[in-house]
Amino acid sequence: MLKQIRENARIPLYILIVAFIGLYAVSSHETSPAAGKVFGKRVQFSDFKKSYIAARTQMIMKYGDLPRDPQVETALEEQAWDRIILLAQAKKERVKVDDKEIVAFVKKIDAFNDKDGWFSKKLYEEILRYNFGLTPTEFERIVRENLTIEKLIDKHTKTAAVTDEEALKQYRYLNEKVKADYILAKTSDYLTQVSAPDEETKAYFEKNKEAFRIPERVNVEYIVKPFADDKEETKEKARKEALEISYELAANKDLAAAAKKFSLSIKETGLFDEKASIPLVGYDLKFAGAAFALEEGAVGNPIETKSGIYFMKLKQRVPERDATYEESADKARAALKSEKAGTIAKAKAEEALAEIQKGIAKFGDVAKKLSLHEKKTNPFVPGQYIEGIGISPDFADAALSVKPGEVVGEVVKVNNGYTVIRLDSITPIDEKKYEADKEKFKELLIAQKQFFASLSWYDDLKKKANLEPNLPSRP
C-alpha cells in the first residue's frame, strides 16, 4: 500500500478529485496566522487545514489508513495547496454548481444505498456522522467544491478532439510492423580521418561552453533494506521492515542511529550528477531525483527501487558551474572530432543516395562500393528499439513515409551516423479489429490529450497563483 501511495501522491489534487470526492472537517472559529499567499491574497491557516484534511481523507478513502510517512505528508500539503488555487480560480471565473448536481452525485455513491439499491437518508447520515464526523450540510459543501473544481478543469480541457484521420494514423503507428533495409555511414568509421588541433579545440570549446558546464553534483550517505529476490512476498516483508525504519527516522532523524538499531551499514555514493550512473547504486532516476531534492544534512523519505528501499542523507552538494578549458579539453576535442567525422559520414550517405537515385548503382552494390554498412531491420513497431540503430523516431517516421520497395528521398540522422533507408515491408493493421476498437481508441486518445492539457493548464495557473507557503516545519 505504501508504495501505491507514494507513486500516486504526486498526482495533482485535481486529478484525484475527479476520481472521488474528498471530505474535511470544519474549523470555522480557529484564529491562526496566515498559512501563505495565493494570487497575492492571504490564506488563513484554518482554511489550509480544511483543504489538507480534505486531501488526507480522500487518500484514506482510496488506500485505507495512512502510515506516518514524511513523503506522504509532503504530498498532502502540496495537494491541499492545489485545491486552494483551483477553488480561487473557479471563484474568479464564476464557475458554479447547482443543488441538483450535488444531489445527483451523492445518490450515485453506493455506500449510501440500502440493500435494495435505493438511496437511504438514514444510512447517509449515519455513515457521515460515525465514519467522518460530518453533517450532510458539511459533506454537501465539500461535494459542491469538488464538482466546481471538476467543472473548472473541464472548461479548460474538454475542447480536445481527435479526428478519424488522427486516430487511424496513431493506431497504425502503434500497431503496424515495419521492416526496412538501410545503408549506414557510421560516424566512428571516420574518426581516424580527422584531427582537432589545440587552436580549433579551444575555439570549439569557447563556442560551445554551455555544453561543457559541470552539472550540480551531490554526495549522499544511505542505508538500504535490500530485496532478497523479486518475489512480491519478499518485497512486502522488506517494506514492512522499512516502515519501522521510517518511524525511527521520523522520530530522531539520525541515519547512523537507525543503521545501528536495524543492523544496517551506512554507505556513501561519492559525488555524482543527476544523469550519471550512481556509484554502488547504478543508473536510477528515482534515487537521483530524491537525492537532489534533499537539503544538506537532511534525511530524506524512503525510496523504493528495483533492488531495495533506500534511506539517504545529503552529505555534500556542489553547485553547477562553468568548466575551464583545461577541465574540458579532452571532451571538447572528442566532440569536435565527432562533429567533423559526422560531416564526412553525412556526405558519404548523401553520395550513396545520389547514386541510387540516378540508377548508377543498386542499393546493396553502392554500400559495398563506398565501404558502408548494409543492414536489415527485424520487424519493429515505431518507438521500439531497432537493432544497429537504437530508438530512433526519425528513422521509423522516414521508413513509413514511402511505399514498400521505395527509398527515402533524404538521408536520415541516427544515433551513430547517417542512413539511407529503403522500406522493405509493412505488416498492416487488422482493419476489422481497428473498426471494432476505433471508438474506444479515440476515447483513449482524447483522454490522453485532455490529461496533458490539464497538466499544462494547471502548471500555468500555478505560476500565475505565485504560491508563497508559510507553513511551520514538521517536527
- What is the SS3 assignment for 475? coil
For the residues 162-184, what does the mean pLDDT come to?
89
Tell whether 135 and 184 lie within a shared domain. no
Among 198, 207, 187, 211, which residue's Cα sits nearest to residue 333?
Answer: 198
Tell whether 233 and 190 lie within a shared domain. no
Tell whether 126 and 266 lie within a shared domain. no
Q: What is the DSSP string of 102-162?
A: HHHHHHT-GGGB-TTS-B-HHHHHHHIIIII---HHHHHHHHHHHHHHHHHHHHHHTT---
Share of the chain residues as helix, strand and coil, in percent rounded to the nearest 5: 55, 15, 30
Query: Is position 207 within any domain?
Result: no
Tell whether 298 and 338 lie within a shared domain. no
> Is residue 108's pLDDT more than 80?
yes
Bridge partners (DSSP) listed for residue 222: 267, 312
Four-point Cα dihedral 98, 103, 106, 107, nearest 10: -150
Of the pLDDT bands very low, low, confident and very high (cuts 50, 70, 90), residue 14 is very low
Tell whether 242 and 287 lie within a shared domain. yes
Reported in sequence order, the residue ranges of 171-307 that DSSP labels E, i.e. its strands, are 177-186, 217-226, 267-268, 272-273, 303-304
What pLDDT shows up at residue 437?
Answer: 87
Tell whether 34 and 152 lie within a shared domain. yes
Which residue do the cell numbers 439499491 mark?
Answer: 117
Q: How far apart are CA 35 and CA 470, in angstroms?
A: 5
At residue 355, φ and ψ (nearest 5 deg) are: -65, -35
- Judge residue 121's burial from the number of C-beta atoms within 10 Å of its C-beta, 0-12 exposed, 13-18 middle, 19 or more buried: exposed
Which residue do the cell numbers 499567499 mark?
Answer: 37
What pLDDT shows up at residue 70?
Answer: 67
Of the pLDDT bands very low, low, confident and very high (cuts 50, 70, 90), residue 33 is low
Among 385, 404, 29, 403, which residue's Cα sits nearest to residue 395?
Answer: 385
The region, left, alpha or beta by phi > 0 then psi within -120 to 50, assigned to residue 378 is beta
Name the range with the highest mean pLDDT among 37-41, 341-345, 374-378, 448-452. Answer: 341-345
Query: Is position 107 within any domain?
Result: yes
What pLDDT shows up at residue 142?
Answer: 83
Which sign does the torsion angle of CA 18, 21, 25, 29 carry?
positive
Instruction: Give the DSSP letter of residue 192.
Output: G
Tell whether 149 and 9 lie within a shared domain. yes
> Is residue 222's pLDDT more than 90?
yes
At residue 299, φ and ψ (nearest 5 deg) are: -95, 125
> Is residue 1's pLDDT more than 50?
no
| Average pLDDT of the chain to the nearest whole number | 85
* Cβ–Cβ under 8 Å, residues 250 and 70: yes
Cα of 31 vs its chain's centroid, Å: 39
Tell whether 334 and 290 lie within a shared domain. no
What pLDDT shows up at residue 299?
Answer: 85
Of the pLDDT bands very low, low, confident and very high (cuts 50, 70, 90), residue 110 is confident
At residue 304, φ and ψ (nearest 5 deg) are: -95, 125
260: amino acid identity, one letter: K
Among 419, 402, 300, 398, which residue's Cα sits nearest to residue 352?
Answer: 419
For the residues 153-158, what does the mean pLDDT come to?
86
Query: Is position 308 within any domain?
Result: yes
Of 299, 318, 337, which one is at a domain's C-terminal end?
A: 318
> Is residue 26's pLDDT more than 50?
no
At residue 191, φ and ψ (nearest 5 deg) are: -65, -35
Of the pLDDT bands very low, low, confident and very high (cuts 50, 70, 90), residue 61 is low
Of the pLDDT bands very low, low, confident and very high (cuts 50, 70, 90), residue 270 is very high
Of the pLDDT bands very low, low, confident and very high (cuts 50, 70, 90), residue 67 is low
Q: What is the DSSP string of 429-466?
A: --HHHHHHHHHHHHHHHHHHHHHHHHHHHHHHHHHHHT
Query: Which of 67-76, 81-90, 180-189, 312-321 comes out lowest in average pLDDT?
Result: 67-76
Query: Is position 371 within any domain?
Result: yes
- What is the SS3 assignment for 395? helix
Tell whether 221 and 192 lie within a shared domain. no
Higher pLDDT, 350 or 131: 350
At residue 244, φ and ψ (nearest 5 deg) are: -65, -40
- What is the SS3 assignment for 381? coil
What pLDDT shows up at residue 161?
Answer: 83
At residue 464, φ and ψ (nearest 5 deg) are: -65, -35
Cell of 438: 476505433
Query: Is position 100 within any domain?
Result: yes
The region, left, alpha or beta by phi > 0 then psi within -120 to 50, assigned to residue 442 is alpha
Q: What is the count of structural domains for the chain?
A: 3
Tell whether 135 and 41 lie within a shared domain. yes
Here the CATH number for the domain that contains residue 391 is 3.10.50.40
> Is residue 303's pLDDT more than 80?
yes
Host domain of residue 102: 2-159+457-469
Of 276, 295, 318, which one is at a domain's C-terminal end?
A: 318
Of the pLDDT bands very low, low, confident and very high (cuts 50, 70, 90), residue 17 is very low
Tell whether 98 and 47 lie within a shared domain. yes
Say if strands 267-268 and 303-304 run parallel, antiparallel, or are unpaired: unpaired
- Judge residue 41's burial from the number of C-beta atoms within 10 Å of its C-beta, 0-12 exposed, 13-18 middle, 19 or more buried: exposed
Which residue do the cell numbers 543498386 mark?
Answer: 362
Query: Is position 395 within any domain?
Result: yes
Of 286, 318, 350, which one is at a domain's C-terminal end?
A: 318
> Is residue 131's pLDDT more than 90?
no
Q: Which helix (H) or strand (E) holds 469?
A: strand 468-469
Q: Which helix (H) or strand (E) holds 41?
A: strand 41-44
Reported in sequence order, the residue ranges of 227-345 that DSSP labels E, i.e. its strands, are 267-268, 272-273, 303-304, 308-318
pLDDT tens-digit series, residues 132-151: 677 888 888 888 888 999 99
Tell whether 14 and 117 lie within a shared domain. yes
Query: Is position 299 within any domain?
Result: yes
Query: Is position 341 within any domain?
Result: yes
Cα of 435 vs its chain's centroid, Å: 32
pTM higher than 0.85, yes or no? Answer: no
* Cβ–Cβ under 8 Å, residues 54 and 27: no
> Is residue 92's pLDDT more than 90?
yes
* Cβ–Cβ under 8 Å, residues 296 and 314: yes
Query: Which of 159-173, 205-219, 361-375 comes out lowest in average pLDDT?
Result: 159-173
Q: Which residues contact 33 (CB under 8 A, 6 or more apart)?
A: 45, 470
